[in-house]
Each structure stands twice: as structure tokens, then as C-alpha cells.
Amino acid sequence: MFGVLNKNFLTGLLIVVFLALAPLVLTTHWIIILTEIIIMSLYAMSFNLLFGYTGLLSFGQAGFFGAGAYFSALTLAHFTSSFWVCVAVGVIGTALLAFVIGWFCVRLDEIYFAILTLGFGMMLFTLAHNWRSVTGGSDGLTILTLPVLTFSSYRLELFNPKIFYWLSLITVSLGIVVLRQVVNSPFGLLLTATRENSQRVSFVGQNVRTVRLVAFTIAGALAGMAGVLFGLFNRIASPEMLHWSFSGKAVLMTILGGSGVFLGPAVGTSIFFVLEHFITSYTTNWMIFLGAILIALVLLFPMGVLGTAASFISKQRGVMKHE
Amino acid sequence: MEGFLINVLNGLSWGMLLFMISMGLTTVFGVMGVLNFAHGSLFMLGAYMSMQLVRWVSSFWVGLIFAPLFVALLAIALERFLLRPVYGRDVSFQLLLTFGIMLFLDDGVRLVWGPAHHVVNPPDILAGVFPIFGQTYPVYRLFLIAIGPALGLGLWAFFSYSRWGKIIRAAAMDREMAEIVGVRAPILFTSVFGFGAWLAALGGALAAPHQSVGPAIGEHIIIESFIVVVIGGMGSFPGAFVGALILGLLASFGATMAPDFQMALPYILLAIILLTRPRGIFGEES
Amino acid sequence: MNNTPLLEIKNLHKNFGKFQALHGVSLTVSEGCLTALIGPNGAGKTTFYNVVSGRYKPSGGRVYFQGKDVTGAPTHKLVGLGLLRSFQITNIFPKLTVLENVLTPVIIHNGKSFSLLNSLRRKTDLREQAEQILDMVGLTRYANRSASTLAYGDKRLVEIAIALARKPKLVLLDEPTAGMNPEETERIIHLIKDLSTRSGATFFITEHDMKVVFSIAQRIFVLNQGRPLAEGTPDEIRANRFVREAYLGGSLDARGA
């Protein structure tokens, strides 16, 4: 048991160390791509807490992601230039928002849940799109001054891509540690039990809606966290970040990597962006490839890339054990 | 008063287009249990195909008749080779598959016809304007308003009197029962999917002179028709009709009376209906 | 024995439209007394269970649990009081391991549903409780196997273990041997007898297999067409003329009772 714990912990640590050292050898171009991958990984993983673990397909996750970006842009424009206050406002704000919206959405499940989350996400989209005086309308809110980080006499400039990369890595790692803890907690088991058989969970006396609401809120808050970073990364909070097609992106990246494995969405995100990078350098019709990839995945590898690999490896091990 | 009536007419003409595509969506959902994300893309494909046919043979009517048939054939192939393997799998994966088909078709259209919008002229007989309430109103929109109920009536007759219509209706209400009665599911599914696609593409061909034809029209209409189908009650035909009318009128009145809110209105309506009647206005409560 | 019966049903009615599924059913289950409800197909056994477990609201009559009126109370409230139902159709968490299947209700029972700071990877009190229950139903060796890979009979045991994990006072067990082979049936009869004395729960079963009923039940109620037909010890029921008639004359003997 402790061996497993140690192994997982070490693997995680190794990945973080490896990623932390990456900017030392990468060009700025790739550092920027990697920053986006890291931020979007947290977004996809927040979605997968609902999809892979709780069995709820949300088509409104972008609503919280975008809300995080808007909250931080508004905080920066009107209140403070502190990075951590920005993150805190983004996370707490989206958590509250997710709690209120979730309170309605968890009443339904399956397709009805997907449509209802899509509806609420699009309400947020139209709010951002039409409330010009506050949100800047379809132009979005440009972030003119990036927040600063000061440690006594040191001043860290977020304009520096490397610094921004490291900061994103730290923040996202924190988010992923939180997710990991949730998934391994008694509450995490309740989530998978709800996914497997929600009726049985309520027959042993647990209100399923409450379980789903808490999951919805946590997922919303972490999406908001990713959204804060994404807004700073692009120096803008724009309505597209709230649109349902952006929610679809989370779904795609998750399926690509595998919804049944903890790090599946992160792997999916990496593949997504690297593929996008290469394909768009040849053609503008990247969506056609994406559609074809998604169709092939659903038909042939529903467990995703990491999921398929993991099950292949465990089968191989099983064979080795028997021999 | 004139403004009010013009709003009603605008709402009705848009509502009728929504009705046509929602009919297909709701039939496919009712019979097959699949919520088809790509349905809007089939609508879009219908518009593009008819636009192309109009260019080649310069006859709107040829486009109107043949474009939906082409799309239906394509849809039959999609059902046979892509959808059939995922029946019985998790609902989420069926949704994702159709989502993938949507991405593919929407971008495919961009690849073939380019990102620009195209204009299709209505046929001469339906071109021009009609004096009404002291104002003028496009004849083509009146044609749409007329064809909606006509099509609705035709479908109603089809579902009430023809053998296939009865089978589809029975299956939409209760899939298991249809199987017990001995309907062969594979053929039923394929024909229903083709039929739904035909309706969507017919809507697209009819919409072409009403709005410009561009690669985003499918994505736009699919969300609205989802809302129509959900608020009407999935699998319910009267529901699709009423839902489409409500959404059409909401769009036209919203645009003049609450322009800032108009975009959000369908979603607010969706949330209210789902939270008070989770299975829609005409849906059976489970 | 306690004076107040564990479960007391008074004049229970349930109508579906004009159809009377239950008509004036009264019975009591005392603590520790393995009780069975029998009756021919369509006698209303499952309806009775659905009403008592809170799934349906009764059309008339009262249900008392430990002397407390719980008529029409929702399932989760009854579960909190210690009245649980186990299902005829196997109702488990297929992709979770057997241990996790039991751990889930253990977590709920201990009020740890929203405990986010603990980790299940460590050996915890919760795990120990779940392991004890697995031991009690004899599933320890399958603890880490996915529940969907078990044989049918073992899945039913998982189902019972899930109910036991909530430390119930009364378990309504619907047809525990349905679909089982003779060997599995034998095993589950032993288990129910054993659990009935060891687990602190009282079992109230429905069963169509008369051999099972007469070999384990201490008290039997007979239902026929929604009405109570007879009650008594197994010997009294065996000798009851009405029961014989309801079961088409003599089939009780033929079934090996």
C-alpha cells in the first residue's frame, strides 16, 4: 500500500521537476505553448472530476473557466495588482457561482444535465457579451497591467514568459494536488459510487444531489483557477472563453487522454495542443482533423490514449505474473 | 400594432424553420435515444447543397428537392458506419460521436466552400415584397410561414395514417414495445435517421434564401433546436411545434423589446422549463 | 425480548388506480425473529416491500418502526433509522472493487460523506469496518476484485453486505435465493441464519422457495391477492388449510417441506 503511495507521489514529483526544468532548454515559443498546455490541463481535469469521476457530462464548464478570467480581470482593473488576491478572488468567485448554478443543475442528470449546464454556460456568455459597461462586451476585457509578485526586495515580472510559466506550474500543481486529495478521499469514493449507481447511493441513505453539488462546486472553482491564469496568459478575458464550444474543448481533451485515468485529461490536453500546433502549420482546417480524431477515439479507443496505454500495461503485467 | 404584427410574422417564419429541424431531432431522439449534435450540420449541409444546385442549374426548386435527398443519403451512411457501433454504449459517448461529426462537417464545409457567406435568391415567384398592414413584407417569409403548417400537416398525416409513420410514432414513445411488436430495429433506426436528416436539410434548403449561407449556421441553429426539443419534451411532435413557435416569437419580440437580453432569453426559458417540468411541456413525467 | 415490536404494520392498503395491490395487511416483526413473507406470484409481496421501504406511499394504514410512526417516510429517512432494503435485482456498484462497494455505505454510515481531508489509501477505521463486513459475509478473498467480475451468487452477497454496512436494525431481503444454483442457495441460507444471530440485524425476507422458508424462518406471514391469509410458525403454516389451497393443494409437500 505504502509502496503505491510512494510510487505515485514520486512519479508526480518527477513530472513537476521535469516540467520546472523544461524552460531552461526550451525556446520561448515552446515555453508559451507549454504554459497554455499546463493551464488547460487543469481546466480539463476540473471537467473530468464531473465527467470521469461523477458521471456528469457538463457542457457548461467554460462558464466557470471564463468567469475566473473575468473575475481576475475585474479585480486587476478596479482593486489590486496582487497575483494571489487575483487567484483567490477568481477561485472563490467561481466557487460561489458554481454553487448557485450547480444547485439547479444537479436536479437533473444525463442528457438533461448536459443541456441545462449548456444553457447556464450560455447565459454567462450572453451576460459577458451584452453587459458592455462592465465586461467590455464582445471585445472582452483587456488586462493592461499584469499583477506583480514581490518577495521582500525581489520583484517578479509576469511579462517574462519563463516567470509566468513557473507561476502557472506552481498554481496548477496546487490545483492538481487538491483534485488528487478529493479523488482519494471518502468523498471521492462516493463520487465514483454515484457514477456507478446513483440510485443505490440514495438507497443507503445519502442524498445524491448534495454529493453532486459539492463536486460541481469544486470543479467550478478549479476551472475558475485555470481561467484566472488563462486570462493573464492572454492578457484578456473574452466572451469566447465562456462559450459552449469552449466547454466542448474540455470534453475533447478529456476523451483524448482518457476520462478513466487521473492524469488522462492532462495527457489529452498535451496531445491536443501539440497536434493543433503541427496541423495548423499545414492547414487552417484543424477542426476537420479534430472531428475525425474524436470520431475515431469514440469508436476505437473510448478509454483514450493514456487509458488505453494503462490498461495495456496492466494486462502485460498480469500476463507476466501468470507466467 | 403594425410592429406587433410584423414581429409575429418574423417569429412565425423563424419558428417554422426551427420546427422543421426540431422535428427531425426529436424523432431521432425519441426512436433512437440519441441526441444528435450533428443535426445542425445536416441543416447547414442542406443549405449549401441547395446553394450549389441553384448555381449549377439555377433552379431553386431543383435544389429544394434534391439537396435534402443527398443529405439523407449521407446521413444513412453516417448512421450505418459510425452511429451503429455505439448504440448501447454510454449516452455521453453517443453525444460525443455526433459532436465529432459536427466538427468534421462544419469545417469540411469551410474547406469546400470557403469561410465566406453566400447569398441564395428566392425563386422569382416568391421574390419581392407583399403589402401588408400598410408596410411591405418579404413574400418569401410568408411562404415559409405557409409551408410550416403545410409540412406539419403532411407529417401529421404521415404519422397518423401510413404504416411507417405509425411504427415510428410507436417506437418514439416506447422503443422496447416496438421491438416486441417485431419492428426490425436496424432498418427502423437507419430510416429514422435518414428521415430526420432529410427534414433538417429541407429546412436548410428553405432557409438558404431567408438568411445567408455560412459555415456557422449549423452551430447556431443546433443549440436553438436543442432548446426547442427539450422544452417541448424530447420525442414529442406537438412539443416540437409549440417549442419552435415559442422560440421563434421570443427571438423576434426579444430583438425589438429587449435587445440586450434577447440572446439570453432562450436559455432562461430553457432553465425555467427544465427546473419546473424536467421532461418538457409535452413530455411524460417519469 | 423487547415489548415494542421492531416493525408493526397496521391495516396497510395500496391501490394503483382501481387495482388493490394491498388490502388490509397487518403484521409485526419482533426483534431477532427471522420472519418471512410468502405468497403466490402477484400476492403483493414486492408492493408490500416498496411501501414499507418508503418507495411507494401507502393508500391507507400505518407503519411503525420501533414504535415510531414512519408511514410514508422517504427512503433515506428510513435508512437513517435502521430500516434497509436489499434488492432482488442485483443492485451494486459494478466497476468498484468489492471492498469499495462496502466502503461506500460505511462512509455514509459514519457521516464521512463529505470528508475531503482523509485519504482512503491509508489504513483507516472506515476500511476496517468494511473489511469486517466482508469477513462476515465471506467475501474477504474477493476484496480487491471488481464487483462486476464476481459470480451471480457472490454479487448477491455484495448486495447484502452493502445493506449490512449501514448497521441496520431491520433488513428487508427480497427473494435472496432467486436465480441461484442449489449450492449457492445452500450457502446463502446458512449465511442468513448466521447473520440473523451475529450481525444484530433482524431479517425479514420474501421467498418463493418454500424449502428455504421453512428451513430458516421462525415466523411466517402468508399473503394472497393483497390480503393476509395466514400467520404462524412454520409448522402452523404447513398445516394451514387455506395456505395449501392458495398454493394449489399439496404443493407445499411436493416442494419438499
pLDDT tens digit string along A75-86?
Answer: 998 888 888 888
pLDDT for res C250: 47
Least confident segment among A110-119, A204-213, B152-161 = B152-161
| Interchain CB contact of A301 with B (< 8 Å) | no
Cell numbers at C21, concatenated: 395491490
pLDDT band at B282 (very low <50, low <70, confident <90, very high): confident
pLDDT for res C256: 40
User: What domain range is B32 assigned to?
Assistant: 2-214
pLDDT for res B180: 62
Query: Which comes out higher in pLDDT, residue C85 or C41?
Result: C85
In which residue are the cell numbers 462546486 written? A217
C20 phi and psi angles, rounded to 5 deg:
-95, 100
pLDDT above 50 (res B193): yes
In which residue are the cell numbers 436494525 written? C169
- Select the residue of C94, C95, C104 nearest A189 (Cβ to Cβ): C104
- Which range scores top for mean pLDDT: A151-165, A173-187, B11-25, B235-249? A173-187
| Interchain CB contact of A285 with B (< 8 Å) | yes
pLDDT band at A3 (very low <50, low <70, confident <90, very high): very low
CA–CA separation, A158 and A231 (whole Å): 13
A201 burial (CB, 10 Å; 0-12 / 13-18 / 19+) is: buried
pLDDT band at A311 (very low <50, low <70, confident <90, very high): confident
Domains of chain A, by residue range, sit at 2-322
pLDDT for res C254: 40
Q: Taking residues B216-229, what's their average pLDDT?
A: 88
Residue type for position C162: I
DSSP chain B: -HHHHHHHHHHHHHHHHHHHHHHHHHHHHHHH----TTHHHHHHHHHHHHHHHHHHH--HHHHHHHHHHHHHHHHHHHIIIIIGGGTTS-HHHHHHHHHHHHHHHHHHHHHHH-SS-B--PPPGGG-SEEEETTEEEEHHHHHHHHHHHHHHHHHHHHHHHSHHHHHHHHHHH-HHHHHHHT--HHHHHHHHHHHHHHHHHHHHHHHTTTS-B-TTHHHHHHHHHHHHHHHH-TT-HHHHHHHHHHHHHHHHHHHHH-TTTTTTHHHHHHHHHHHHSTT-SSPPP-
List of chain B residues whose C-beta atoms are within 8 Å of the C-beta of residue A122:
223, 264, 267
Q: Taking residues C210-215, what's their average pLDDT?
A: 84
- Select the residue of C93, C114, C119 nearest A200 (Cβ to Cβ): C93
List of chain A residues whose C-beta atoms are within 8 Å of the C-beta of residue C126:
186
- Which range scores top for mean pLDDT: A40-54, A137-151, C222-236? A40-54
Work out the percent of chain A whose per-residue pLDDT is above 90.
Answer: 61
pLDDT band at B137 (very low <50, low <70, confident <90, very high): confident
Q: What is the pLDDT of residues C143-181, one digit of tens each?
A: 999 999 998 888 989 999 999 999 999 999 888 888 888
A310 and B105 in contact (C-beta within 8 Å)? Answer: no
List of chain A residues whose C-beta atoms are within 8 Å of the C-beta of residue C92:
197, 200
pTM score, whole prediction? 0.88
pLDDT above 60 (res A321): no
pLDDT for res C255: 43
Subunits with 3+ C-beta pairs closer than 8 A to B: A
Q: Buried (b) or exposed (e) across A280-314, using 16+ Cβ within 10 A? A: eeeeeebbbbbbbbbbebbbeebbbbbbbbbeeee
What is the 8-class DSSP label of residue A179?
A: H
Q: How many domains are contained in chain B?
A: 1
pLDDT above 80 (res C123): no
Q: Do chains B and A touch (3 or more CB pairs under 8 A)?
A: yes
pLDDT band at B1 (very low <50, low <70, confident <90, very high): low
| Interchain CB contact of B97 with A (< 8 Å) | yes
Work out the percent of chain B whose per-residue pLDDT is above 70.
Answer: 94
Closest C-alpha to A222, from A265, A164, A162, A274: A265
Least Cα separation, residue B246 to chain A (angstroms): 17
Cross-chain Cβ contact B230/A115 below 8 Å: yes
DSSP A8-28: HHHHHHHHHHHHHHGGGTS-H
B147 and B85 in contact (C-beta within 8 Å)? Answer: no
Q: Assign residue A110 a region (left: φ > 0; alpha: ψ between -120 and 50; beta: otherwise).
A: left
| Interchain CB contact of A107 with B (< 8 Å) | yes
pLDDT above 60 (res C253): no
Q: Taking residues C181-209, what's their average pLDDT?
A: 87
pLDDT above 90 (res C257): no
Cross-chain Cβ contact A200/C92 below 8 Å: yes
Cross-chain Cβ contact A200/C103 below 8 Å: no
pLDDT for res A133: 87
H or E element: which one contains C89? Answer: none
| Interchain CB contact of A64 with B (< 8 Å) | no
pLDDT band at A5 (very low <50, low <70, confident <90, very high): low
pLDDT band at B285 (very low <50, low <70, confident <90, very high): low
pLDDT band at B175 (very low <50, low <70, confident <90, very high): low
Mutate which: B79, B83, B107, B276, vs A, most A CBs within 10 A: B107
CA–CA separation, B28 and A293 (whole Å): 24
Least confident segment among A2-11, A199-208, C213-222 = A2-11
- Select the residue of A122, A285, A294 nearest B111 (Cβ to Cβ): A285
Distances in Å between the Cα of B204 and the Cα atoms of A60, B66, B114 are 27, 12, 18
What CATH number has the domain spanning A2-322?
A: 1.10.3470
Q: Is residue B134 part of a domain?
A: yes
Cross-chain Cβ contact C79/A207 below 8 Å: no
pLDDT for res B47: 93
C242 and C74 in contact (C-beta within 8 Å)? Answer: no
Q: Taking residues B173-179, what's their average pLDDT?
A: 63
pLDDT above 70 (res C251): no
pLDDT band at B286 (very low <50, low <70, confident <90, very high): low
Cell numbers at C168, concatenated: 441496520
Closest C-alpha to A15, from A266, A304, A233: A266
Q: Is residue B132 part of a domain?
A: yes
| Interchain CB contact of B186 with A (< 8 Å) | no
pLDDT for res A151: 72
Q: Is residue B133 part of a domain?
A: yes
For all residues of chain C together, what is the average pLDDT? 86
The number of C-alpha atoms within 13 Å of C192 and in the hemisphere containing its C-beta is: 32
| Interchain CB contact of C114 with A (< 8 Å) | yes
Closest C-alpha to A197, from B71, C248, C148: C148
Task: Mention every residue, 6+ apart, whose C-beta is less than 8 A from residue B233.
Answer: B239, B279, B280, B281, B282, B283, B284
Least Cα separation, residue A188 to chain C (angstroms): 8
CA–CA separation, B156 and A93 (whole Å): 50
pLDDT for res B169: 74
| Interchain CB contact of B28 with A (< 8 Å) | no
Cross-chain Cβ contact B96/A115 below 8 Å: no
pLDDT for res C210: 81
pLDDT band at A271 (very low <50, low <70, confident <90, very high): very high
Residue type for position B216: A
pLDDT for res B236: 80
Query: Which comes out higher in pLDDT, residue C17 or B172?
Result: C17
pLDDT for res B43: 94
Q: What is the pLDDT of residues B85-112, one digit of tens each?
A: 888 777 778 888 999 999 999 999 998 9
Q: What is the pLDDT of residues A272-299, one digit of tens each?
A: 999 888 888 888 888 899 899 889 988 9
Cross-chain Cβ contact C91/A203 below 8 Å: yes
- Which range scores top for mean pLDDT: A316-320, C86-90, C164-168, C196-200? C164-168
pLDDT band at A6 (very low <50, low <70, confident <90, very high): low
Cross-chain Cβ contact A192/C112 below 8 Å: no
| Interchain CB contact of A127 with B (< 8 Å) | yes
CA–CA separation, A252 and A290 (whole Å): 9
Question: In chain A, whose CA is at the least distance from the CA of B259?
Answer: A130
Look at residue A141 and give its three-state secondary structure: strand
Cross-chain Cβ contact A299/B99 below 8 Å: no
H or E element: which one contains C8? Answer: strand C7-16
pLDDT for res A1: 41
Q: Is residue B190 part of a domain?
A: yes
Task: Mention every residue, 6+ apart, whose C-beta is less than 8 A from residue B252.
Answer: B7, B8, B10, B11, B14
Q: What is the pLDDT of residues C24-74, one digit of tens each?
A: 899 999 998 999 998 887 788 888 988 998 888 899 999 999 999 999 888
pLDDT above 90 (res A137): no
Cross-chain Cβ contact C107/A196 below 8 Å: no
Q: Is residue B82 part of a domain?
A: yes
Residue type for position B193: F
